[in-house]
Structure 1
């Protein structure tokens, strides 16, 4: 009987071993099959290659992400609306003061100082953009987005109650710190509220909100200034920001590591922060002052730009060698697809802002439109890229593919800005509207597609810093674009001085050329018809040359887009863990993942 039991036990052991071997063999075949399919899709690395779909039995620790908490439909809608409202205010404050500046200058008895009211906001917004992502990694998304809203609230309060121009400029600088944080953190929070597959759709909402705020800002500022007071350009922020703060405080539930204040402060990359903030401020200040307050060859401008670039080099060195928790991890740039996505972001931002900034100059200087009408004439462009951005998000959600929108969008944008070279010198509205629609259709497809591509290719712990890097790249590109476009336009007008001088008084010809060209459009209304046509021809030809430069940058974006890799966008909704425990080096992709 003992021998029979021993035999049964032996047979069971053999059977169990056979089952284990069979299971292992099946798993090996299945994994190999997945690997073959992945390799066939393209040569690009996949940092999360099919890992959401393939069960893996391993003793390695799980990535620092977790399944997202379930939210009701209405709860998610309220959170997204609140985040978009915060973004709306941050975008609104870029343009709302433009029509109020003359009144503000008169009310506060300011001379040239009023020019800093707009610049102060943009400078601090750009300088602090890279830091917000890493700070939210340390303390969590919710506390930091609330902090950004609070800073924006304080800045708005001080701006609304300013008693002199110095106080207003300082308040606008504080606003810019908070506003830049809101732009970055709203996009990070929305990215963590939905799955990778759904992000394009929700980021499309963000694009529409941004376009709406940019379009109505000047109009709203003019209405407040004429009907109530310019101070309402800032008072309007207070109740909306307060409601947003309360809603997010009670309803936004993302990972909260509850990092102790002192431990978090010790973990902040202070050297990197100082280098990037200082370098950005110096570079943008140099670009802002050059050709306006100082000549480009002046010591002030040269030193600002040179030391700004030196600080950028120092920043790279610090991030590479001297910090444990870099605010902009260089590993993001090691993957060619990530670098290409950021390259497309730069070229896209560089070209996109030109439509918003220089089409109004064309409308006013060439077609004779008023500042208000030039904003109305810009609507086809703004509406086109807003609607297209949302439609692109729906396409990405439906198909799970972002590369077609990147490639097609950058190609159509190149075509659209190429058509701008053919804009007529006299009103021909079918052409003017059609060209804007084509350009906007191309621009809208890449407002968020490169961001989706970037987020899809980085590890979950790097989502926030990658997003902050993306928006920092966009801010830099738009700032540099406006300056370079202005320099080309000024140089072209300077080349036409002799042409203008032959038919116009010397003081008028000089006023329409050089650094004062773009700001002297008002002179045109004072000219007789024969002289007016000559001046408008000079503006027309100079603007055409500027469009050629932007087409070249759009074409460069087309070339760079070829290097963006494809990645399957999962429908599984996971969020990255935050806190100091997660602040450790992220493993580089293996050779097999790069194959």
Structure 2
């Protein structure tokens, strides 16, 4: 492949990932407008949750499907599904159509997120380490840009044109990326029987896990508003979720040959702690990204564009924090101090939003544009919180890799993404449930019934007095106070629980390297004398020795021990056959 062709493909793949990120993050500032247009302000959080659930569901199987149908074919399929889903979102005339279309988009975005990183790794595999790192840095920069620009672009489009154009705008870019990849990306021949490979997918685990999650989230989103918590519908769904959850655990323990959550990994306490932290990160991060613009618009009366701009400081600080955390980890060789600092900063930033939410129920007109005290407070809090997020997201992943085996890297990566994305869906649905139930509790029953009949869209209630309008706004304000107050204690629990995870210091790693080297040297010294297999296996022994020395040098202890065990097994086999020949 020529250098120019490789560069074009790398840029196109990066832009494709940027589009998928933009698609996931662009909807928050257009949610209020879409909810009003479709009479669905009470249920509009499902527009985001359906995207995340579908993305997570297919993320678990995309890697396996890529081995069956090829990465290029599967990526083109994912791009097509994303474009069709976005097109349908723009034409949605009901909440059901919007939620289904967002799920379709999530299905495509899940494939793009899973495959682009793999394909970029393939294209850069022959490059020098420095150039490969630059490519990865550019990729990460585009992802951050997608996170930052998404709410701003969608807000501007929703304000100047329509919320529908927030989805339609992405379709042409998606199509162009797909055409370039189809023309320039070389295909790879797939060997093996595809039927046999299809049997390697954990269908039972995937279906039961997503089914249980849906049967929990659906009654949670409707409970207390459209159905009583004690109703047969809510109870039946929650009981069914418990049954499916039990089946999922059983399938991972006994049934599935290739489980999505292997019990040998999940039984480790550090793995359980770090994955639970990823769940919390997903909950709090997506509540920030999605609900803060809603709060700015519905409570403070800001425009979609301005509310999107006020999310930008957190995302930019996230990028700066992630880069700084990477430099610190490279210097000290440890992740635990960085993660603890990140949790502390995240807690402080989240705490800074509490006085803003409690003290400022509305902004005077002159404060909408100028940097007044309330606006400066929220920006400063967002900056601190963003740095804390940057200090935790990727370092927590590195900490997870450190407590698992190298050969489990692919599984661990999928689990991290699964927990964080599901956290986003759970957080948004739960937050929406809290807001709606507080509204039901605080408002006069007759007024709440009128609000429910129009899907929570205040301006569509006929003959609404100024006093009733203000009562609805203040009830929502009280609900947001509860939601935004949850972040600080949750981050504090993450901080405390992470203290119990032991991380080996660099000097301990050096001692471990020396121990492995000494054990290896002893094993080689005590190995059998040349046997009848020596001439046939000498090249394999030399290869194993070279690999083991490289692994010891790099500090890859687990892989080094596995290589050593393989070497010792071969020597034992040689001695056994030699003794049989002598007999």
Q: Which of these residues, 443, 449, 462, is aligned with residue 395 of structure 2?
A: 449
Corresponding residue of 2:103: 173
Residues of 2 paired with 1:304 and 1:448: CA distance? 36
Cα separation, partners in 2 of 1:418 and 1:77, compared to 1, 3 Å: farther
Tell me the equivalent position of 1:19: none
Q: Distance in 2 between matches of 1:531 and 1:224?
A: 30
Residue 154 of structure 2 is aligned to residue 208 of structure 1: no
Q: After superposition, where does 1:24-423 map in structure 2 within 5 Å?
A: 81-96=11-26, 120-135=50-65, 139=68, 143-144=70-71, 146-157=73-84, 160=87, 172-187=102-117, 204-205=140-141, 207-212=143-148, 214-216=150-152, 218-219=154-155, 222=158, 226=162, 232-233=168-169, 235-243=171-179, 245-246=181-182, 249-250=185-186, 258-291=191-224, 294-423=227-356
> What whole-Å deviation, never above 9, does each CA across 1:538-595 have from its counterpart, x for those lacking one?
544443333322221111111232244436899xxxxxxxxxxxxxxx99x99xx9xx
Q: Is the 8 A contact 2:147 2:315 kept in 1?
A: yes
Q: Which moved more, 1:80-89 or 1:425-434?
A: 80-89
Of 480, 492, 504, which residue of structure 2 is paired with 1:543?
480
1:440 aligns with 2:370: no
Deviation at 1:452, TM superposition (A): 2.1
Provide TM-score, normalisation by structure 2.
0.69
The 2-side partners of 1:531 and 1:164 are apart by: 31
Taking structure 1 as reference, are residues 174 and 433 closer, same or farther at Cα in structure 2, changes over 3 Å only? closer
Against the structure 1 CA distance between its residues 161 and 243, is the aligned structure 2 distance closer, same or farther, given a 3 Å change threshold? same
In the alignment, which residue of structure 2 is the partner of 1:579? none
Q: CA separation of 1:493/1:154 partners in 2, compared to 1, >3 Å: closer, same or farther?
A: closer
Find 2:408's aligned residue among 450, 462, 483: 462
Partners of 1:90 and 1:305 in 2: CA distance: 32
Question: Which residue is equivalent to 2:418?
Answer: 472
Q: Within 1, Cα distance between the matches of 2:49 and 2:74?
A: 23
- Equivalent in 552, 556, 571 of residue 493 of structure 2: 556
Provide the alpha-carbon RMSD of the alignment.
4.7
Looking at structure 2, the residues matched to 227 and 173 of structure 1 have their Cα atoms a distance apart, in angstroms, of 18
Q: Secondary structure in 2 aligned to 1:267?
A: coil
3-state SS in 1 of match to 2:191: coil
Q: Which has the higher helix share?
A: 2
Aligned length: 490
Asked if structure 2 preserves the Cα contact closer than 8 Å seen for 1:100 and 1:230, the reply is yes
Shift of 1:397: 4.4
**Partner Cα separation in structure 2 for residue 76 and residue 168 of structure 1:** 38
Structure 1 segments unaligned to the other structure (5+ residues) = 1-70, 571-585
After TM superposition, give the deviation of residue 342 of structure 1 in Å: 0.9
Shift of 1:442: 1.1
CA offset at residue 208 of structure 1?
A: 0.7
Greater relative CO, 1 or 2 (CA 8 Å, sep 6+): 1
Q: 1:384 to 1:312 in 2, by over 3 A?
A: same
Q: Which moved more, 1:155-164 or 1:428-437?
A: 155-164
Distance in 1 (CA, whole Å) between partners of 2:324 and 2:442 is 44
Q: 1:487 aligns with which of 433, 442, 454?
A: 433
C-alpha displacement of 1:147: 0.7
In structure 2, distance between residues paired with 1:206 and 1:463:
24
Q: How big is each residue's C-alpha offset from its partner over 1:349-402, in whole Å with a ceiling of 9 and x where there is no partner?
A: 222222223322432344332333222222222222233223333443455432
Partner Cα distance (1:248, 1:301) in 2:
51
- Alpha-carbon separation, structure 1, partners of 2:478 and 2:142: 36
For the residue of structure 2 that corresponds to 1:283, the secondary structure is: helix
Give the equivalent residue in structure 1 for 2:538.
Answer: none
CA–CA distance in structure 1, aligned partners of residues 429 and 52 of structure 2: 14
Note closer, same or farther for the CA distance 1:208–1:495 as it changes in structure 2 (3 Å cut): same
Partners of 2:28 and 2:151 within 8 A in 1: no
Structure 1 residue 536: Cα displacement? 5.3
Report deviation, 1:343.
1.8
Shift of 1:202: 7.0
How far did residue 225 of structure 1 move? 5.0
Report the secondary structure of 2:435's partner residue. helix
Q: Give the direction of change, closer, same or farther, for the CA distance of 1:420–1:288 in structure 2 (3 Å limit).
A: same
Q: Which residue of 2 aligns with 1:49?
A: none
Between 1:465-474 and 1:428-437, the stretch displaced more is 428-437
Listed one character per residue, the Cα deviations across residues 103-129 of structure 1 (whole Å, up to 9, x for unaligned) are 99999xx87699676554333223333
SS where residue 566 of structure 1 aligns? coil
Residues 311 and 419 from structure 1, CA distance in 2 versus in 1: closer, same or farther, beyond 3 angstroms?
same
Q: Which runs of 5+ in 2 are unaligned?
A: 364-373, 510-557, 566-583
Task: Name the SS of the counterpart of 2:321 in structure 1.
Answer: helix
